[in-house]
Structure 1
Amino acid sequence: MRSHPGEVAVQRRAGVRQGGHGSSRTRPEIPEVAAGFLRAQRMVVAGAADDLGRIWAAALTGPGGFADPRGERTIVLHALPAAGDPLHGLFTRERDLGLLAIEPHTRRRMRVNGRAVRAGETLVVRTEQVYANCPKYLQTREPTSAPGTPSLPARGTILEGRHQAWISAADTFFVATRAEGFGADVSHRGGNPGFVRLTGPRSLDFPDYQGNNMFMTLGNLELDPGAGLLFADWERGETLQLTGRARVEWGERRVVRFEMDEYVHLAGTIPSAWTAPGYHRFNPPV
């Protein structure tokens, strides 16, 4: 796979000198251990651009086995974005899709990027990048209930007070990005509550903690500032999706600043009961 110029630029700025360290090192095949991990999951996070080019991240849920690897480079998802979700109805034609399969109670996660198209009531993904992620900054929690029935969405361009409180207390969120010619990607961000800081009714920022130096999220943002954020309310089974633009501020600490264009608030999208979180020991103090 060819080198990603955005990742290379960010790695240089960050002082990373490892050659070929990034998405160019990934492979499209699904290893057997990865296939087994996918089949065990009950939630994946998907990221894609809508027809206006806005990036969204969404939760897809189902019983164990709903994410079904078939062969070396195909995954059939027996779930579609819910009605009211910004990704609903988009995959009547093939388009870039990023997936993050995450198992919070074991701190295991893997990313799958490729192209996807709807086939009946399934989403068929042709993989282009498959790779595991380290467990840093991932809080442990496990669902103790099933997802509900997704509700009609609430939409807006200004975050309400409940949304601001939700974001300010978050210990986890997901970020989707995309760069033309390099596909879509979904990543996890975690930290102690308060690591995401609201700077206005349409803006927030968060620190970019040290990870594996692949810089796939920041690399995409180097080429395209579009980003989608997904916050989960683990106690109510609700999700808050934000779409907008993000930029990286380079200083003593890297900070990502996000400006929202629109939000979508859905209930019933994820389980409404989870075990209490166990915070990762490497979470920096807020």
Structure 2
Amino acid sequence: MSSSFHVGEQWVQTRAGVREKAEQIGNRMIRPFMSEQHREFFAQLPALLVAAVDSEGQPHASVLCGAPGFAWSPHAALLSIEARPQVDDPIAPLLHPRAAVGLLGLEWPTRRRNRMNGRIVESDERGFSVAVAQSFGNCPKYIQARNWQATPRLPGLMLEGDSLDQQWLTLVTKADTLFIASQSSDPQGGGVDISHRGGPAGFIEIGGDGRLWMPDYSGNRLFNTLGNLLREPRCGLLMIDFSSGDLLHLQAHAEVVWPEQYAALGVTPPPGAERMLALTPGRWMLRRSRLPLAFALPQFSPFLPKAGV
């Protein structure tokens, strides 16, 4: 029987003891087309998270913005996006016909999110269109609700470098939200994906080993991201400064760390962590004042784990 998941996802599902349940969920919710509800959902959004992969196989994550309606679905198997990244955006040269992409729509005030992965079939100076390979919804766990309004911003400097840098450490250590781009070239179920990760402010810590340590909480049990990282540990991180509109694009190498490894590595997991993700930082770009949206203070998710629980 064919599966909705590639071998990396299946391995993590088996390791977590949810293989059969995950297959049942996948067969029910992962579709090669968008439902009418999802088509309407994307057309309401002011921003769309995007993942793409460069010629060396390195995933990158970014965000595209426009007036609601800039993303729309002419029919259930296609999503059109009337927006192009700025020239210094790491995904700018990657959105070409036949390129695999991962898309994530997030309705910030309501915590709703839907994902769509596929390939670009058309691209021009106005935008691009993506043929649906996988479309499915995600639960609202760990998303911080934020009201937004469009705001013009004068783009600031673009800074870049390699490895840990003080210029972006404060953004990371205060963050409550991260987006991670990953990919698998597996012939069965492979592709590009972008996923949301959220937690209490400061849920990402800088370890003594120079890696970023992030808890992996209980989610939809499909393990799309971890399954991808098992097959291809390179990933692309996007972090947003919701006050200034700064965008941090960070390449990283990921290792999934299971509880039985904690003692040897000297790891003390935070409350609620089922496992940890250790991210070795690589090349980075910090693009100042780029997100043309202003956000109110967050309403933290009621699902966030609490100390001592």
Paired with 1:46 and 1:89, the residues of 2 have a C-alpha distance of 13
Instruction: Give the Å deviation of 1:245.
Output: 1.2
Contact 2:99 2:119 in 1 (8 A): yes
Instruction: Give the Å deviation of 1:24.
Output: 5.8
Instruction: Give the Å deviation of 1:283.
Output: 0.5
Instruction: Give the Å deviation of 1:119.
Output: 2.6
Choose 161-170 or 145-154, whichever is displaced more. Answer: 145-154
Instruction: Give the Å deviation of 1:62.
Output: 0.5
Alignment pair present for 1:14 and 2:16: yes
Instruction: Give the Å deviation of 1:158.
Output: 3.1
Which residue does 2:134 correspond to in 1? 129
In 2 relative to 1, CA 183–157 (structure 1 residues): closer, same or farther, beyond 3 Å?
same
Question: 1:1-286, aligned counterparts within 5 Å?
Answer: 2=3, 3-16=5-18, 17-18=20-21, 20-21=23-24, 26-116=30-120, 117-180=122-185, 181=187, 182-199=190-207, 203-251=211-259, 253-271=274-292, 273-285=294-306
Paired with 1:161 and 1:151, the residues of 2 have a C-alpha distance of 18
Instruction: Give the Å deviation of 1:148.
Output: 2.5
Q: Secondary structure at the match of 1:29?
A: coil
Paired with 2:287 and 2:26, the residues of 1 have a C-alpha distance of 32
Give the letter for the 1:163 counterpart. Answer: W
Paired with 1:24 and 1:86, the residues of 2 have a C-alpha distance of 34
Q: Secondary structure at the match of 2:75?
A: coil
Which residue does 2:270 correspond to in 1? none
In 2 relative to 1, CA 200–166 (structure 1 residues): closer, same or farther, beyond 3 Å?
farther
Give the letter for the 1:229 counterpart. Answer: L
Paired with 1:275 and 1:19, the residues of 2 have a C-alpha distance of 36
Q: Unmatched 5+ residue regions in structure 1?
A: none
Aligned pairs, number: 286
Paired with 1:228 and 1:147, the residues of 2 have a C-alpha distance of 27
Paired with 2:91 and 2:22, the residues of 1 have a C-alpha distance of 36
Give the letter for the 1:110 counterpart. Answer: N
Q: Unmatched 5+ residue regions in structure 2?
A: 261-273
Paired with 2:209 and 2:247, the residues of 1 have a C-alpha distance of 18
Q: What's the C-alpha RMSD, in Å, of the aligned pairs?
A: 1.9
TM-score (norm 1): 0.94
TM-score (norm 2): 0.87
Choose 112-121 or 193-202, whichever is displaced more. Answer: 193-202
Instruction: Give the Å deviation of 1:269.
Output: 2.5
Paired with 2:60 and 2:27, the residues of 1 have a C-alpha distance of 24
1:38-66 deviation per Cα after TM superposition (whole angstroms, max 9, x unaligned):
00000110011112211110011100000
Larger Rg: 2
Give the letter for the 1:80 counterpart. Answer: R
Paired with 1:230 and 1:7, the residues of 2 have a C-alpha distance of 22
1:192-230 deviation per Cα after TM superposition (whole angstroms, max 9, x unaligned):
111111126952010100001011001111111111110
In 2 relative to 1, CA 71–284 (structure 1 residues): closer, same or farther, beyond 3 Å?
same
Instruction: Give the Å deviation of 1:19.
Output: 5.7
Paired with 1:258 and 1:32, the residues of 2 have a C-alpha distance of 37
Paired with 2:203 and 2:136, the residues of 1 have a C-alpha distance of 26
Choose 236-245 or 118-127, whichever is displaced more. Answer: 118-127
Instruction: Give the Å deviation of 1:143.
Output: 1.6
Paired with 2:277 and 2:25, the residues of 1 have a C-alpha distance of 19
Q: Secondary structure at the match of 1:41?
A: coil
Paired with 2:133 and 2:147, the residues of 1 have a C-alpha distance of 29
Q: Percent identity?
A: 35
Paired with 2:73 and 2:283, the residues of 1 have a C-alpha distance of 34
